[in-house]
Amino acid sequence: MAAGSAPLGGHPRVQRPHLSKMERMVVTMQDPDQGVRMRSQRLLVTVIPHAANGSDIVEWLIQKYSIAEDEALHLGSLLVQHGYLYPLRDPRRLELRPDETPYRFQTPYFWTSTLWPAAELDYAIYLAKKNIRKQGALVDHEKEQYHQLRRRISHAWDLVMMQAREQLRAAKQRRKGDRLVIACQEQTYWLVNRPPPGAPSVLEQGPGRGPCMAGRAPMVRALRACPRPPPRPECSHLPRPYLKFSSQHGPHDPIMSGCLPTGGPGVQLRPPGCASVVRSPHPENLSFWEACEELRHGGQARVPALVDAVYQQFLAPGAARWVNIDSRTMEQTLAGLTQPHRHVLDDAQRHIYLLMKKDSYPRFLKSDLYRDLLAEAVVPLETKRRVFPFTRKPRHSSPSPALRPASASGEPVGGDGDGET
Amino acid sequence: MDQTFLVNVFGSCDRCFKQRALRPKSEQLNYCSLCAEIVKATEGLRLSQMLSSYSQSILCLVLAVHQVAERVEALGQFVMKTRRTLKGHGNKVLCMDWCKDKRRLVSSSQDGKVIVWDSFTTNKEHAVTMPCTWVMACAYAPSGCAIACGGLDNKCSVYPLTFDKNENMAAKKKSSVAMHTNYLSACSFTNSDMQILTASGDGTCALWDVESGQLLQSFHGHGADVLCLDLAPSETGNTFVSGGCDKKAMVWDMRSGQCVQAFETHESDINSVRYYPSGDAFASGSDDATCRLYDLRADREVAIYSKESIIFGASSVDFSLSGRLLFAGYNDYTINVWDVLKGSRVSILFGHENRVSTLRVSPDGTAFCSGSWDHTLRLGWAWAAKREL
């Protein structure tokens, strides 16, 4: 939980950068000229200086960061929840109210980054003080904690009680206003670090990150610099490729056009356009490409069998679906087949892909199938707007893909039939 | 090889209208060499889209090819809200993944529960209890027949999904596929159910064969925990990107195991990486409260998505279908939606009561799902407001 040792390269990890950002924000808020409007707050008979209204805080956040009110309120609430602001009245609830409720800024001594992790001893002293002051009337969870601590650090309990009494005595000698403020500050600190049950803990972190010497894989190659690719010419119109892509796809981006989810049927293995490739003079190209994909992404155990099948069907002289690859690639591929592995057909696959791109695709653009698709394409978006499938729950659910039997198009089925129903 | 003579014809290019040396094209169109390359590249993009997509709507894009917008149009007003809430996890939701059927999703949580939901009916279809806590990674198999998950047990396990009530799902689990020496932070199936790619707190990524559990390739290079990974969408490409606690995002070649590109501009841990839909760029979200876009061809960072009022780290990022919007979930319980091209924020979404730990857009791009430490998952999608304007 505490900062880990410096990693390779000697750059210490900054723990929880959001805390330092919050601190900077809070310091800016306290600036006498540019900060939040401060005023003295009257609490019963005491006057507490440098307090700010909830509404002033929200207003300041809106002005400073050009955000809307809901975001400003949310941001302010986070500041309070992390203990950088505390309410003067009813300090048990750490929330920001956008009204006349007065708040003050936490002293840097009690900032999470300064005093963390919270020490058990300090908590024991705090509870002991509270216990003495309230003569045993602690809140449930605090009472429980108090007894637990007493059992756990019984050896140091005398020290705890002594410290508690000492601090209470010193507090009595302060002015009432200071006493109130210090009590609020301390209470806020402990609310953040020891939240009552049910309240979310803002300081909770996931599993520890950062380098730990145990369990680190051997870093033999870690320090070697990555090979840099050859320098590419500086592109002055960088947004253009993204412009082009997004504007082409934008009109059909369902989340932007408000298209509702329809829970479409399962996956088609081949998009309709491929039908034309299949019907073209060289249908074996697509089949070959698909077979190569299956080899690359399929199970290790099937590699020898698949390679053999591909050779028999596509590459052997006189094969039923012989693919037209140039002689050099064919030579290399055939040589590689003696030691079959997942990537042995990569070069051939790339060649066929480029061939399809240059040959079959332009023909597809001119075909009837494409023209029909275009005609159909204009309609779907318009009709979808009228149908609201979400006004009531769908009566029947679509069958889970796990229930469907293996499709005839040879889609790889997980697990060789294990667990298939 | 046939050698054709290159005739140097000078004239006006039909695309950019500049006076250049022309390369005659077949259909009475003359392009200068630069435009010829651009046209070829866009054609190639269209073909790869055609070959890799599964829905007819993508093919409609070809319509828009002839209407390439030269100026970035401002996005219209649209409102996004939480439409469905999935309740059922008893503890923090850490990770989620969509099934390719665009409807089911799997989610994992801190208490070891992994649940498969039907997002439309909000019913739970399967539930598995892992023997470990903090299940930080889960993935749905492309076929929809299995799920993979792992976390503090340092392993990735694959569970086939079964509807037979007599079979106990935990008992059907395959022996652990991946074995690391530290926690598992991310996992993803490659194009089939047979291979799985994992990232771990031990600083490495690895590619495994599901059937045998064999390690096919390992990727060393990160100087600290690897927190996330994403596979490139390209069909001919064989790469993936990973991000780690060393503030680096690294692009790897899956075949050789080598790092081909590295980017180090973030100021803190990179929690999430996601490829841009065309595969030419990727976005990353980090604890330094920024998201950044890196271009692979230009080999550098090209955009930063940040705001002074956003001070909590981004835990999870994903693009909309067209790549125009970037959804990012933050540790301050909000989701910010960024305009990728303009770099400005489009929308901020409230609703979660604790940090957003995971966020994914559905495969057909109609909805997004976010999981949070407040034990819930929320599904959101947009209503277009005032389309007549």
Q: Does B333 have pLDDT greater than 50? A: yes
Confidence grade of residue A239 (pLDDT, cut at 50, 70, 90): low
CB within 8 Å: B364 and A222: no
pLDDT at residue B85, rounded to an integer = 93
For residue B286, the chain A residues in CB contact (below 8 A) are none
CB B324 within 8 A of CB B301: no
Q: From the CA of B176, how many Å to the nearest CA of chain A?
A: 14
Asked if residue A98 and residue A149 are part of one domain, the reply reads no
Asked if residue A361 and residue A293 are part of one domain, the reply reads yes
Which residue in A200, A221, A416 is closest to B220 by CB distance? Answer: A221
Which ipTM value was assigned to this complex?
0.77
Asked if residue A104 and residue A83 are part of one domain, the reply reads yes
B207 touches chain A (CB under 8 A): no
Do the domain assignments include residue A393? no
Do the domain assignments include residue A292? yes
Task: With H, G, I as helix, E, B as strand and everything else as coil, classify residue B276.
Answer: coil
CB within 8 Å: B68 and A373: no
Confidence grade of residue A275 (pLDDT, cut at 50, 70, 90): low
Q: How many domains does chain A have?
A: 3
Instruction: Name residue B15's amino acid.
Output: R
Q: Does B67 have pLDDT greater than 70? A: no
CATH number, position A316: 1.10.167.10
B39 touches chain A (CB under 8 A): no
Do the domain assignments include residue A3? no
Cβ within 8 Å of B, A 380-399: 380, 390, 393-394, 397-398
Least confident of A88-102, A218-232, B196-210: A218-232
Do the domain assignments include residue A22? yes
Q: From the CA of A393, how many Å to the nearest CA of chain B?
A: 6
Q: Does B99 have pLDDT greater than 70? A: yes
* Residue A315 DSSP label: I
Q: Does B202 have pLDDT greater than 90? A: yes
Q: pTM score > 0.80 for this model?
A: no
pLDDT at residue B45, rounded to an integer = 61
Q: From the CA of B9, how many Å to the nearest CA of chain A?
A: 24
CB within 8 Å: A219 and B172: no
A415 touches chain B (CB under 8 A): yes
| Mean of pLDDT over chain B | 84
Asked if residue A102 and residue A46 are part of one domain, the reply reads yes
Cβ-proximal residues to B267 (8 Å cutoff; 6+ apart), any chain = A14, A17, B247, B286, B288, B290
Residue-wise pLDDT for A322-372, tens only, equals 888 888 888 888 888 888 888 888 888 888 888 887 877 777 777 777 777
Asked if residue A368 and residue A290 are part of one domain, the reply reads yes
CATH number, position A181: 1.10.1240.60
Average pLDDT over residues B367-387: 81
Asked if residue A360 and residue A342 are part of one domain, the reply reads yes
CB within 8 Å: B193 and A412: yes
Asked if residue A100 and residue A130 are part of one domain, the reply reads no
Domain end marker among A193, A223, A245: A193
A298 touches chain B (CB under 8 A): yes
pLDDT at residue B106, rounded to an integer = 96
CB within 8 Å: A421 and B162: yes
Domain end marker among A59, A83, A110: A110
Question: In degrees to the nearest 10, what's the CA dihedral of A161, A167, A173, A178?
Answer: -140
Asked if residue A146 and residue A64 are part of one domain, the reply reads no
A87 versus A46: the higher-pLDDT residue is: A87
pLDDT at residue A139, rounded to an integer = 84
Task: With H, G, I as helix, E, B as strand and everything else as coil, classify residue A25.
Answer: helix
For residue B134, the chain A residues in CB contact (below 8 A) are 206-207
Cβ-proximal residues to A214 (8 Å cutoff; 6+ apart), any chain = none
Q: Does B101 have pLDDT greater than 60? A: yes
Q: Does B270 have pLDDT greater than 90? A: yes
pLDDT at residue A66, rounded to an integer = 93
Do the domain assignments include residue A272? no
Confidence grade of residue B110 (pLDDT, cut at 50, 70, 90): very high
Asked if residue A319 and residue A301 are part of one domain, the reply reads yes
Q: Does A44 have pLDDT greater than 80? A: no
- Host domain of residue A82: 18-110
A317 touches chain B (CB under 8 A): no
Asked if residue A90 and residue A161 are part of one domain, the reply reads no
Please state, as a whole number, how many other Cβ atoms lie within 10 Å of the Cβ of residue B289: 24
For residue A413, the chain B residues in CB contact (below 8 A) are 143, 145, 193
pLDDT at residue A63, rounded to an integer = 94
Q: Does A59 have pLDDT greater than 90? A: yes
Share of chain B above pLDDT 90, in %: 62
A230 touches chain B (CB under 8 A): no
Domain end marker among A90, A110, A130: A110
Cβ within 8 Å of B, A 133-172: none
Do the domain assignments include residue A27? yes
For residue A301, the chain B residues in CB contact (below 8 A) are 209, 211-212
Q: Does B28 have pLDDT greater than 50? A: yes
Cβ-proximal residues to B102 (8 Å cutoff; 6+ apart), any chain = A261, A263, A264, B362, B363, B364, B366
Residue-wise pLDDT for B87-96, tens only, equals 999 999 999 9
Q: From the CA of B8, how many Å to the nearest CA of chain A?
A: 24
CB within 8 Å: A397 and B123: yes
CB within 8 Å: A219 and B181: no
For residue A74, the chain B residues in CB contact (below 8 A) are 332-334, 350
Asked if residue A369 and residue A290 are part of one domain, the reply reads yes
Do the domain assignments include residue A68? yes
CA distance A113 to B154: 31
pLDDT at residue A353, rounded to an integer = 82
Do the domain assignments include residue A311? yes
Asked if residue A136 and residue A178 are part of one domain, the reply reads yes
Cβ within 8 Å of A, B 110-129: 118, 120-121, 123, 125
CATH number, position A45: 1.10.10.10
Average pLDDT over residues A68-76: 94
Residue-wise pLDDT for B40-55, tens only, equals 766 666 655 555 543 3
Coarse DSSP helix, strand, coil percentages of chain A, rounded to the nearest 5 percent: 50, 5, 45
